[in-house]
Structures are given as structure tokens and as C-alpha cells.
Amino acid sequence: MEPFFPELHPNPGWHKSYALNDTETLHTISSENIGRHCILELYQCDHAKLNDEAFIRTTITSSAKIAGAKLINLVTHSFKPQGVTGLALLAESHISIHTWPEIGYAAIDVFTCGDHTMPEKACKLLSKEFLAKHLSFKNISREIPTEIHTLHREP
């Protein structure tokens, strides 16, 4: 299965403002990118891969690399009787994976800051490696609200 991932880089689907309802409006968004947060849910995955801590460590490392991110640290934990959680600290933010092998499910977040990384590529690799038969993918842009855009930030 070849899932659909819009390879929209560096500015996918950005809008100037978002309305919550008739009485609420979120902050107006500037054009300066903070980053992108991809939410990936994988269904009907290979049960053995979802429960293999070493495989998950390798797959997280590969997904960070293909996204163009710098891996700083990687922590994983294998649960008993099953399931693995993995968290990669990236120079650009993080990748997290939580698995439920008993139902063939993985919940994945890939959040990268800046415009030099491509978290969509990491998600595409992860869905392929876990042999997901179905998936849900959301790409959320993170931008600076206009109200604080002009504030001075120290690097």
C-alpha cells in the first residue's frame, strides 16, 4: 500500500487566521514558521514489529535521518506483556511512538521546527516499515501568532 502524504515543503496548508466559532477567533498567524507537527496513526500493523524494541529504535533513527533532523537522544521502553514506547529528542523537536501490538496499532508524533526538515517523509517511512494496512495522517503547521511575532527572541 502506498499511502498519500503531501510532500508540501516548506509551507504546507498555512492560513492567516482560524475561526473557532461565531464568538471566538484564534490569534492571527504570521508567515513565520515555527515548525510542523505530524500526527500519524497506523492500523493493522505487523504485530511482531510493534513489539520489537530494537526494531523501533532502528526505525525511529531512520525516520529522523530521512526527515533531515539531527537525533540528540533516543529512549525506548518495552512494556510487559507487550507494547513499546519510543521517544527521540531531536535538535529540531521530537519523534514519539507508542505501540499496542495486541490490536496492531501505533500512535506517532513527528514534530520538527524550522523549514529544513520534512516530517512527512519520516511518517511515510514509519507507515511503510510497520507494514500498516490503514493510516490516519494530520499535518499541523506551528506558526508565530502576530501578537508576539515582533517580540525579541534570544537564540
Q: Please confirm, yes or no, whether 47 is among the known catalytic residues.
A: no
- List 9, 27, 47, 98, catalytic entry: 98
Q: Domains in the chain, please, with CATH? A: 34-141 (3.60.90.10)
Q: Please confirm, yes or no, whether 93 is among the known catalytic residues.
A: yes
**Average pLDDT of the chain to the nearest whole number:** 82
State the pLDDT confidence band at 152, using cuts at 50, 70 and 90: low
**How many C-beta neighbours within 10 Å does residue 140 have?**
12
pTM: 0.75
Q: 120 or 11: whose pLDDT is higher?
A: 120
**How many C-beta neighbours within 10 Å does residue 1 have?**
10
Q: Please confirm, yes or no, whether 17 is among the known catalytic residues.
A: no
- List 63, 113, 123, 127, catalytic entry: 113
- List 45, 63, 93, 123, catalytic entry: 93
b vs e for 119-129, b when ≥16 Cβ sit within 10 Å of the residue's Cβ? bbbbbbbbbeb
